[in-house]
Amino acid sequence: MTDIALKVARIECSADAIRSVVLVQADGAALPGFTPGAHMRIHLPDGDDRPYSLIDFDAACDAPDHYRLGIRLEPESRGGSRYMHDLAEGDSLRASVPKNDFALAGGDGPVVLIAGGIGITPMISMATALRAGGRPYVLHYAVRNQGAAAFAERLAEQHGDAFRLHLDDQAGGPLDLAAIVASADDAAQFHVCGPKPMIEALRELAVGAGYDKDHIHFELFDAPADQEGDTAFEVELASSGEVHVIPPGRSIIDVLEEAGEDLIYDCQRGDCGICQTDVLEGIPDHRDVVLSDAERTSGKVMQICVSRAKSPRLKLDL
């Protein structure tokens, strides 16, 4: 089974511009299970799709009787978040079966969960599983203000002292990631989900403190954004010699797929690494959160879902 027919059972307001959508199987059948950190791709009317993390408050992801999603309405959205916010109870939609590219680290050691904004959604299922399994953990949740803190009251009730809510406006600034790393157990596994600067800062601090990169797990919840000054560049395919122009506002994947190329990719946010491609000529402009500093400096690989070019042309091993 590759797709599921779903029906909207309930819609709730979870925070400013964030709604919770509860879905059930359209025919009443049992839903496929999932693991903490999993997502599903909701199919949009225009043929595109968008990934949304599955939220489990009940330690029931092995045999769920519903799926819960949390969706933030993006400013001026006409795509996934607008579609999800326009849904009403009783509406039907289709989605992929759950998939997990952000699995909870195994073992019985302590876990530090860090969420920024809507990045809380995959962390909820992780915190639920950790609590149910008796594994030590802490959940840090950073938002701009109380109005943006989706699910905070329920999380505080369920996790008590293990839940730490950070409000930028009350704290006078962003979450102190350095203090979190400094206070973590030497064997801790870090899971962070949120904006790109948060992920990059946490990785740098944790590696600098001596944590192995295998102990730092992340998922990016920022959609790739155009940058001021972006210009068109060319991509040459090594296999055929074909050259394609990548204009501002479109990704390499967008253009190559439109031209009929069969590509392998998933997140389209620069955090899963599945679309990594060898660079044979040219200088990539890295905008992912996957590559190490050494890989970025080498310029030999790139994530073609979000990264662009600093040179007029890139020759890729495609």
Query: What is the model's pLDDT at position 46?
Result: 83
Q: Where residue 223 falls among pLDDT bands split at 50, 70, 90?
A: low
Which range marks the domain in which residue 274 is found?
233-316
Which of 138, 9, 19 lies closest to 73 in space, CA to CA?
Answer: 19
Strand stretches in the chain, DSSP E = 3-15, 18-25, 39-43, 49-53, 67-72, 92-96, 111-116, 137-143, 163-167, 189-194, 216-220, 233-237, 243-246, 276-281, 284-285, 301-303, 308-309, 313-316
* Together in a domain, 159 and 126: yes
User: Phi then psi for 131, rounded to 5 degrees?
Assistant: -65, -45
Q: pLDDT-based confidence at 195, cuts 50/70/90? A: confident
150 neighbors 117 (Cβ within 8 angstroms): no
Cite the beta strand spans of 202-270 per DSSP E: 216-220, 233-237, 243-246
Number of domains in the chain: 3
Residues 251-265 have a mean pLDDT of 89
Average pLDDT (262-267) is 83
> Regarding beta strands 233-237 and 313-316, do their DSSP bridges make them parallel or antiparallel, or are they unpaired?
parallel
Q: Pick from 62, 96, 130: which residue ends a domain?
A: 96
Last residue of a domain, one of 69, 96, 123: 96
Domain limit, last residue, from 220, 247, 278: 220
Residue 38 lies in a domain: yes
Q: What are phi and psi of 188, to 5 degrees?
A: -65, 145
Do both 211 and 256 map to the same domain?
no
Q: 257 lies in a domain?
A: yes
**Residue 115 and residue 213 in one domain:** yes
Asked if the structure places residue 228 within a domain, the reply is no
Q: What pLDDT score was predicted for residue 225? A: 57
Mean of pLDDT over the chain? 91
pLDDT of residue 88: 94
Q: Is residue 105 part of a domain?
A: no
> Is residue 102, in this structure, part of any structural domain at all?
no
Contact 73, 85 (CB under 8 A): yes
Same domain flag for 289 and 239: yes
Q: Range with the lowest mean pLDDT among 15-19, 83-87, 167-171, 263-267? A: 263-267
199: domain CATH number is 3.40.50.80
Domain-embedded: residue 192: yes
> What confidence category does residue 318 fall into, taking pLDDT thresholds of 50, 70 and 90?
very high
For residue 278, give the CATH number of its domain.
3.10.20.30
